[in-house]
């Protein structure tokens, strides 16, 4: 790690990892496994991490920051706002991101109209990383969808800021069934999160100007 990178991380950086598996806890989940691996990397490099399995929470449909009685999104939203890095993890179903992932994206839509004390969009200066798993194709498409949506609401995307694994076509092996993490996945975790930490540190030190 370069001296420049070490200087950037002298600022405390916080990360929130949202896993959008369809499987409630405590079921085993490939997405949760990848989340744990990415959280471990971040923690080892001085980032304060918190992980959420979205399906364990009542996230009501809608595009408001609070949909009323029974809605648990407002508490999750506070976690997003208190973080510098959002790691957004989804499985692949029918070539698409999960319905849980779509629900989270729709709730983030409310932030388009939210601004900070300086009149800047509230999610400016936050960094987003995407991670996609599946034993079918579709990862590149899903990453494109996630990055467009997250960037649209204000997140900044780091260089090579994604991680993905696709199993062999027409087979049923899941990521969690692998005997070891593929070398290219490990390399992608390192690159995406190193760049995310660097960018988050820079944005903490020098925020985007008010337009």
10 Å Cβ neighbour count for 109?
15
For the entire predicted model, the pTM comes to: 0.93
Range name among 90-104, 111-125, 139-153 with the lowest pLDDT average: 111-125
pLDDT of residue 168: 82
Confidence of residue 9 (pLDDT cuts 50, 70, 90): low
**Is there a contact between 73 and 64 (Cβ–Cβ < 8 Å)?**
no
Q: Report whether pLDDT(79) > 80.
A: yes
Long-range contacts of 117-125 (CB under 8 A, 24+ apart): 118/210, 119/210, 120/207, 120/208, 120/210, 120/211, 121/153, 121/154, 122/81, 122/154, 123/80, 123/153, 123/154, 123/155, 124/154, 124/156, 124/207, 124/208, 125/84, 125/156, 125/203, 125/204, 125/207, 125/208
How does residue 12 score in pLDDT terms, banded at 50, 70 and 90? confident
Task: Provide the pLDDT for residue 3.
Answer: 45
Of the candidates 93, 94, 206, 86, the one whose C-alpha atom is nearest the C-alpha of residue 156 is 86
- Which H/E stretch holds residue 81? helix 73-81
Compute the distance between CA of residue 100 and CA of residue 106 in angstroms, rounded to an integer.
10
| Residue among 19, 42, 3, 18 at smallest CA distance from 189 | 42
Average pLDDT, the chain: 93
Q: Element (H or E) spanning 53, and its range?
A: strand 48-53
Averaged pLDDT, 179-187: 97
* 106 CA to centre of own chain: 15
Helix axes 73-81, 99-108, angle to 10 degrees: 70
Q: How far apart are CA 147 and CA 89, in angstroms?
A: 12
What is the pLDDT, as a whole number, of residue 8? 47
């Amino acid at each position: 790690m370069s001296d420049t990178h070490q200087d950037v991380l002298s600022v405390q950086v916080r990360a929130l990892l949202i896993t959008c598996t369809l499987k409630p806890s405590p079921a085993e989940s490939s997405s949760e496994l990848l989340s744990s691996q990415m959280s471990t990397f971040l923690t080892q490099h001085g980032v304060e991490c918190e992980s959420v399995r979205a399906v364990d929470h009542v996230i009501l449909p809608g595009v408001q920051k609070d949909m009323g009685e029974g809605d648990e999104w407002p508490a999750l939203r506070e976690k997003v706002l208190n973080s510098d890095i959002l790691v957004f993890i989804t499985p692949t179903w029918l070539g698409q991101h999960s319905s849980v992932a779509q629900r989270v994206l729709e709730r983030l839509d409310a932030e388009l109209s939210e601004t900070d004390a300086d009149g800047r969009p509230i999610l400016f200066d936050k960094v987003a990383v995407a991670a996609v798993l599946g034993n079918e194709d579709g990862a590149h498409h899903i990453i494109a969808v996630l990055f467009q949506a997250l960037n649209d609401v204000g997140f900044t995307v780091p260089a090579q800021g994604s991680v993905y694994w696709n199993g062999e076509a027409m087979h049923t092996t899941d990521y969690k069934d692998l005997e070891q993490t593929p070398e290219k996945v490990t390399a992608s975790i390192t690159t995406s999160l190193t760049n995310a930490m660097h960018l988050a540190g820079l944005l903490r030190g020098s925020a985007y100007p008010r337009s």
